[in-house]
């Protein structure tokens, strides 16, 4: 393991001013002001020494007092960054040098899930400074599909992972690792591989639902218990690369390898409807994330830029042009901090439209 703490390149990245970037410009009721120049990152984390593929903010109780950011990189390492000292506090190496593609904290316990291209999904125990793999799930898909987890406070939680067949999705019950079901599209559908997953359960209904973006550019809503597709909407020409869903508004957004950002919604009959499509100047969205307060969303673009939109109106708000290579992932902290990880091995941290 490398002594990342000693990475000297870290210092210059602390681009001063931690003050609120938006604070002084937003006087309500003013005449149309001259737009402000795009903001600079609050600071930049450097030292992964390979492309950053996954980011995840430590949420909930564990984050109290010491906010942490997890990043997974091409070299198979998971870095744990302290946002206070802006240094890596630990490095987890559990994927044998294969790229880490997905990171997720379990809500109740200080446990981290990491998915790697070594076909393993590891469960790390981070309690009390430990960093050991306590469990691992073997995956059977070599694709890039990120998994999804649903844990609503029970001891058992559900995990959606790409399945054995190239177009299958497998639902596992954890921690027993028993397969609940395998979701296989109908024979004539041919949607291609699943590219991104999102497990979801509406509060009022017992139905367990899964949103999956497929290679053919469609987004499908699966009824997990019924093992059937409730609805499918074709909103992209190119493979869907990332999606996020706002369960309160029953509205979701997906980005693809093409130039469009699609917004779709779910009506009472659990039917997906395409709502709108927002054209981007450059093709390729590798990740889409809605901020936890559901005010804005951010996209990670292959054009090196992070784009920020107003979630309700989809009005473009900012184009963050800092990275010098494709941005692979974006993540929001509960307090609104935005992190973007890029192929240029840097993680930029932004503070946008945050209430003080």
Partner 1 sequence: MRPGGWMEALGGFPRGLEDDLLARTRSRRLDFLAFSSCFPVAPGPVRRMDPAPSAVRLTVREAIHTLSSSDDCGLILHTLRFLKRYLGETEDPALPEEQEEFATVHFSAFLRCLVRKLSPVWLELSPDGQLEELWDSFFLKGPADQAFLVLMEALEGTAGPSFCLMKMAQLLANFLSQRRVAALMEEQCRPQKKPGFPLLQETLLSKVVGLPDHLGNRLQQDNLALFYPQNYFPLLGEEVVRVLQGIVDALRGGLDCSVSFVSRVLGKICIQGRQKEILDVLVPQLTALTQGSCLWQRVCWRLMEQVPDRTMEAVLTGLIEAATGRPEVLSRLLGNLVVKSKKAQFVMTQKLLFLQYQHKTRMLQSLLGYLAMDSQRRPLLVQALKELLQTWGSSSAVRHAPLAQQQYLSAAILICLAHLREPELRDSQDELLASMMAGVKCHLDSSLPTVRRLGMIVAEVISSRIHCEGPALKFQYEDDELSRELLALATPRTEGSSPIEAGGPSPAPTASETLAKTMDDGVKSANGSVPQAGPQGSDSDRDSDDEFIPYDMSGDKELKSNKAPLYVRDCLEVLTSSEDMECWEAALRALEGLVYRSPEATLEVSVELAKVLLHLEERTYVSGFEGLRRRALVAVVVTDPVRVAEYLISQFYALNYSLRQRLDILDVLTLSAQELSRPGHLKRSPQQVSCGSGAPVLATSQPDHTAGSGWRAVVEERIRSKTRRFSKGFPWRELLSSPNEFNSVAGYFFFPLIRHFDRPLVTFDLLGDDQLVLGRLTHTLGALMYLAVNTTVVVSMGKALLEFVWALRFHADIYVRRGLLSAVSSILLSVPAERLLGDLCDELLEARSWLADVAEKDVDEDCREQAVRALLLLERLKDRLPPLSH
282 binds partner 1 (CB under 8 A): yes
Q: Which stretch, 85-93, 136-144, 226-234, 294-302, contacts partner 1 (CB under 8 A)?
A: 294-302
* Residue whose CB is less far from partner 1, 173 or 246: 246
- Which residue, 109 or 326, has its beta carbon nearer to partner 1? 326
Q: Is 75 in the site for partner 1 (CB under 8 A)?
A: no
CB of 324 to partner 1, least distance (A): 7
Q: Least CB distance from residue 253 to partner 1, whole Å? A: 10
Any residues with CB less than 8 A from the CB of 129 and at least 6 apart, and which? none
* Member of 63, 180, 189, 319 binding partner 1 (CB under 8 A): 319
- Report residue 196 as tokens: 């991104």
Q: Binding residue for partner 1 (CB under 8 A) from 168, 223, 238, 303?
A: 303
Q: Which stretch binds partner 1 (CB under 8 A): 102-110, 158-166, 223-231, 298-306?
A: 298-306
The answer to whether residue 263 forms part of the interface with partner 1 (CB under 8 A) is yes
Stretch of 30-38, 78-86, 190-198, 218-226 lying at the interface with partner 1 (CB under 8 A): 30-38
Size, binding site for partner 1 by CB under 8 A:
45
- The residues binding partner 1 (CB under 8 A) are 11-12, 15-17, 22, 25-26, 28-29, 33, 35-40, 249, 263, 275-278, 281-282, 294-296, 303-305, 310, 312-319, 321-322, 324, 353, 355
């Amino acid at each position: 393991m490398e002594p990342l703490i000693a990475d000297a390149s870290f210092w210059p990245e602390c681009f001063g001013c931690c003050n609120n970037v938006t604070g002084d410009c937003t006087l309500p009721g003013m005449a149309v002001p001259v737009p402000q120049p795009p903001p600079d990152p609050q600071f930049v984390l450097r030292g992964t020494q390979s492309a950053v593929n996954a980011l995840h903010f430590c949420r909930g109780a564990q984050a109290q007092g010491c906010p942490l950011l997890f990043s997974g990189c091409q070299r198979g390492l998971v870095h744990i960054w302290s946002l206070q000292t802006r240094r890596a506090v630990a490095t987890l190496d559990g994927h044998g040098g294969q790229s880490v593609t997905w990171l997720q904290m379990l809500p109740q316990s200080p446990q981290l899930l990491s998915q790697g291209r070594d076909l393993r999904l590891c469960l790390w125990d981070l309690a009390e400074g430990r960093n050991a793999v306590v469990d691992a799930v073997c995956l059977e898909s070599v694709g890039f599909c990120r998994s999804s987890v649903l844990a609503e406070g029970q001891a058992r939680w559900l995990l959606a992972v790409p399945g054995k067949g190239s177009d299958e999705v497998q639902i596992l019950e954890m921690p027993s690792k028993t397969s609940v079901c395998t979701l296989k599209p109908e024979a004539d559908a041919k949607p291609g591989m699943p590219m991104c997953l999102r497990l979801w359960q509406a509060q009022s209904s017992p139905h367990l639902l899964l949103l999956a973006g497929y290679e053919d550019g469609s987004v499908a809503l699966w009824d997990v218990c019924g093992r059937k597709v409730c609805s499918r909407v074709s909103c992209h020409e190119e493979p869907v690369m990332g999606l996020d869903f706002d369960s309160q508004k029953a509205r979701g957004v997906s980005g693809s390898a093409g130039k469009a950002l699609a917004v779709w919604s779910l009506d009472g009959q659990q039917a997906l409807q395409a709502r709108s499509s927002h054209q981007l100047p450059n093709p390729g969205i590798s990740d889409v994330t809605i901020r936890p307060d559901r005010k804005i969303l951010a996209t990670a673009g292959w054009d090196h830029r992070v784009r920020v939109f107003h979630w309700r109106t989809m009005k473009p708000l900012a184009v963050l042009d800092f990275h010098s290579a494709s941005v692979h992932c974006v993540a929001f902290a509960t307090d609104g901090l935005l992190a973007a990880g890029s192929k240029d091995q840097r993680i930029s941290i932004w503070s946008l439209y945050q209430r003080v």
